[in-house]
Amino acid sequence: MNRKIGAVLAAPCLLFLACGTAIAQSGGITTHEVEAPFDQVRQDIYDAIVNRGYVIDYNARIGEMLERTGQDVGSDRSIFSGAETFQFCSAVLSRKTMEADPLNIAYCPYTVFVFEAAEREGVVTVGFRHLGDGGEGDGAEALDEVNQILDEIVREAAGQP
């Protein structure tokens, strides 16, 4: 499948979306855009997680929930054509992060997201929120390892090396 791919880091940098510039920002959100059908990219995220041996604990269908409850909260605006998150954990990585710092329990399970904005049909965004605050020490190193895995998963789903 031929895909046009652009990468952007951190939600505050939306002005760079059009040119596809990559921006690194500690503690931000990493996203990659793909011109492909939502269902295909969603499956690519699923496969990228499962093929690494991780078990998906929860799949939140956020777009469906927002669509279903819109009128109940006084809104008729469609935000997404499709939007989901996948939560999963790794016994190895989780143990490593929590042995380094028990407060790292706050980051488990790990989450990746995929969505197609209603006003940008045909462009699917995949990404994750960076874990940690960019600190130093064993706890930060362990979280950096998780961030690297999350980045690999979203890159794979976006067709990026």
7-17 burial string, b = 16+ CB within 10 Å, else e?
bbbbeebeebb
Tell me, what's the pLDDT at 135? Answer: 64
Structural domains of the chain ordered from first start: 5-157 (3.30.310.70)
Tell me, what's the pLDDT at 16? Answer: 31
10-residue averages of pLDDT along the chain (161 residues): 36 32 51 95 97 95 90 87 95 92 92 96 95 74 92 94 75
Tell me, what's the pLDDT at 24? Answer: 31
Tell me, what's the pLDDT at 4? Answer: 37
Tell me, what's the pLDDT at 72? Answer: 85
